[in-house]
């Protein structure tokens, strides 16, 4: 177990394994994506209140989930970096940040596109929108800090600390914003009255969530490989490639 | 310094040293305060001096200005110590760095956060904030500004080694200030309307306890990173 862990942590080994996995992951991702989109955009019936425009949730909800998930991944990498100084965790943390920021941005954009027909405006200071926006700032902070520090190993430690501080704060920020929102609640109706979602909508949603998850791993592997090559460009195993 | 100091002595020593340094550099530490007043002065000029409008937005303005002023002053917590090498001495000392960090941050709060208490009622009066809200304003400043210093210290510790740390610092720190802003401003607003404010005050106190107990550790870790 430890041997496996140790091996996975070595850059050349990871580089090879990731390279082998990438074609498979691409295939799985495409299958899931096509199935999810077909189920979501063609099979699933229109919503009786929102008509066709609810279909954006098949992109919106998975990307919002991913935006949180990736931050948690980054925080776990942060612990690994601080405790074990593992190089691979540094690479994973750094490579995750732009992907997470993109998912957050995607969630914001799709959310506001959905808001236009539903609420009549692209942006309301809804609790979830606001805390998603703050999450985007947290991601940008991580990316900015990493770019600002030249020594990449030091930068990784700085970013690890920041990710941990952020992960403690995210729930606090989220609930503060929710609380703030319930105080300032405007006239707009913002919440679905949770009708239990029909499986014909739930299934494509889960498929899309899975597809996004696989896409994250795929994009992560690509980025990690590039990052590893850049960092280890003077080492022997890179020259041998 | 050859005699061994106990932890408490070291804490007090560092606190006194920082306060003395601040006192000798009075002009530098007055800047954030001046900035605070200046920012608040801009709002009536930009929005028009309607008394009811100003009274309505006063809690928000004061707190946003306090946030910005706190952020401007943050850099001074560790900057000069980093430049002249005393930060490394602090990191090498036999005492837990987190406690020494707490001393430095406390000193910083005493010279930058506490003076806001004196100026804030004046500005509240100028903005026409109702009298019953002013006690709450002072209370939120008393509880809220140490949180700003505590959380900000983490950000400074992460960026102190950078030449252009300023802008990055605001990106790191301002999102983390959001909860304080929300609860402080809503407490004052409730007080102005004559409602109960204990919920918000308790939340702020909870944030204060959390930040005092956790942030020194993160700051210490970040300082070790920056000084390496």
* DSSP per residue, B83-144: HHSHHHHHHHSSS-HHHHHHHHHHHHHHHHTHHHHHHHHHHHHHTT--HHHHHHHHHHHHHH
Which residues in chain B are contacts of A82 at CB distance < 8 A?
221
Confidence at B76, pLDDT banded by 50, 70, 90: confident
Render pLDDT for B133-177 as a digit per residue (tens, 0 to 9): 899 999 999 999 999 999 999 999 999 888 777 788 999 999 999
Q: Which residues, including other chains, have CB under 8 Å from residue A136's CB and lie 6 or more apart?
A: A101, A104, A105, A108
Confidence at A190, pLDDT banded by 50, 70, 90: very low
Averaged over A165-177, what is the pLDDT?
Answer: 87
What's the pTM? 0.88
Please give the residue of chain A at the shortest CA–CA distance from B207. Answer: A172
Q: How far is B213 from chain A (nearest CA, A)?
A: 13
3-state secondary structure of A25: helix
Q: Give me the total of CB pairs closer than 8 Å, taking one residue from chain A and one from chain B.
A: 68
The sign of the CA dihedral A240, A6, A99, A219 is positive
3-state secondary structure of A47: strand
Please give the residue of chain B at the shortest CA–CA distance from A83. Answer: B221
Averaged over B196-216, what is the pLDDT?
Answer: 92
| Cβ <8 Å between A148 and B159 | yes
Instruction: Look at residue A232 and tell me whether its pLDDT is greater than 80.
Output: yes
Instruction: Locate A168 and state its tokens.
Output: 């403690």
Averaged over B198-223, what is the pLDDT?
Answer: 93
| Cβ <8 Å between A138 and B183 | no
Mutation pick from A132, A169, A175, A177 vs chain B, by most beta carbons of B within 10 Å, is: A169
For helices A11-38 and A199-231, the axis angle rounded to 10 degrees is 150
Render pLDDT for A38-94 as a digit per residue (tens, 0 to 9): 888 887 777 767 777 778 888 988 999 999 999 999 999 999 998 888 888 999 999
Alpha helices by DSSP H, chain B: 7-24, 26-47, 51-74, 79-84, 86-92, 97-112, 114-126, 131-159, 165-192, 198-227
Cβ–Cβ under 8 Å, residues A18 and A227 = no
- DSSP annotation of A51: B
Report the range out of A1-5, B61-65, B80-84, B188-192 with the highest average pLDDT. B61-65
Judged by a CB distance cut-off of 8 A, whether residue A144 touches chain B is yes
Report which of A238, A213, A240 is spatially closest to residue A228, judged by C-alpha positions.
Answer: A238
Instruction: Look at residue B85 and tell me whether its pLDDT is greater than 80.
Output: yes
* Averaged pLDDT score across all residues of chain B: 90
Percent above pLDDT 90 for chain A: 40
């Amino acid at each position: 177990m430890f041997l496996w862990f140790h091996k996975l942590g070595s850059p050349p080994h990871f580089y090879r394994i990731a390279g082998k996995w990438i074609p498979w992951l691409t295939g799985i991702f495409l299958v899931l994506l096509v199935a999810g989109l077909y189920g979501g955009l063609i099979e699933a019936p229109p919503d009786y209140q929102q008509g066709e425009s609810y279909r954006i949730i098949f992109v919106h909800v998975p990307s919002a989930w991913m935006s949180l998930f990736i931050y948690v991944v980054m925080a776990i990498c942060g612990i690994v970096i601080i405790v074990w100084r593992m190089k691979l965790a540094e690479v994973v943390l750094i490579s995750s940040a732009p992907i997470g920021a993109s998912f957050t941005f995607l969630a914001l954009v799709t959310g506001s596109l959905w808001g236009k027909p539903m609420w009549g405006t692209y942006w309301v200071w809804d609790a979830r929108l606001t805390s998603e926006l703050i999450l985007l700032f947290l991601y940008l902070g991580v990316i900015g800090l990493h770019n600002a520090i030249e020594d990449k190993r030091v930068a990784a430690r700085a970013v690890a600390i920041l990710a941990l501080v952020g992960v403690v704060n995210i729930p606090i920020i989220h609930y503060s914003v929710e609380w703030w929102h319930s105080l300032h609640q405007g006239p707009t109706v913002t919440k679905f009255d949770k009708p239990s979602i029909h499986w014909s909508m739930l299934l494509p949603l889960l498929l899309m969530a899975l597809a996004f998850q696989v896409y994250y791993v795929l994009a992560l592997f690509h980025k990690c490989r590039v990052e590893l090559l850049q960092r280890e460009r003077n080492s022997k195993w890179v020259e041998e490639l | 310094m050859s005699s061994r100091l106990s932890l408490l002595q070291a804490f007090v020593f560092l606190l006194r040293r920082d306060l003395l340094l601040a006192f000798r550099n009075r002009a530098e530490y007055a800047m954030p305060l001046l900035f605070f007043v200046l920012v608040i002065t801009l709002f009536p000029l930009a929005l028009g001096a309607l008394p009811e409008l100003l009274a309505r937005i006063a809690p928000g303005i004061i707190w946003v200005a306090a946030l910005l002023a706190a952020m401007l002053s943050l850099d001074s917590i560790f900057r000069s110590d980093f430049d002249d090498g005393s930060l490394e001495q602090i990191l090498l000392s036999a005492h837990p760095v987190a406690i020494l960090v707490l001393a430095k941050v406390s000193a910083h709060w005493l010279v930058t956060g506490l003076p806001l208490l004196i100026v804030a009622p004046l500005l509240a009066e100028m903005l026409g904030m109702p009298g019953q809200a002013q006690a709450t304003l002072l209370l939120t400043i008393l509880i809220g500004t140490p949180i700003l210093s505590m959380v900000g210290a983490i950000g400074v510790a992460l960026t102190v080694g950078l030449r252009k740390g300023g802008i990055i610092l605001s990106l790191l720190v301002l999102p983390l200030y959001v909860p304080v802003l929300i609860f402080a401003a809503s407490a004052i607003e409730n007080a102005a309307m004559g409602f109960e404010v204990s919920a918000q005050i308790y939340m702020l106190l909870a944030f204060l306890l959390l930040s005092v107990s956790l942030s020194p550790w993160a700051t210490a870790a970040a300082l070790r990173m920056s000084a390496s």
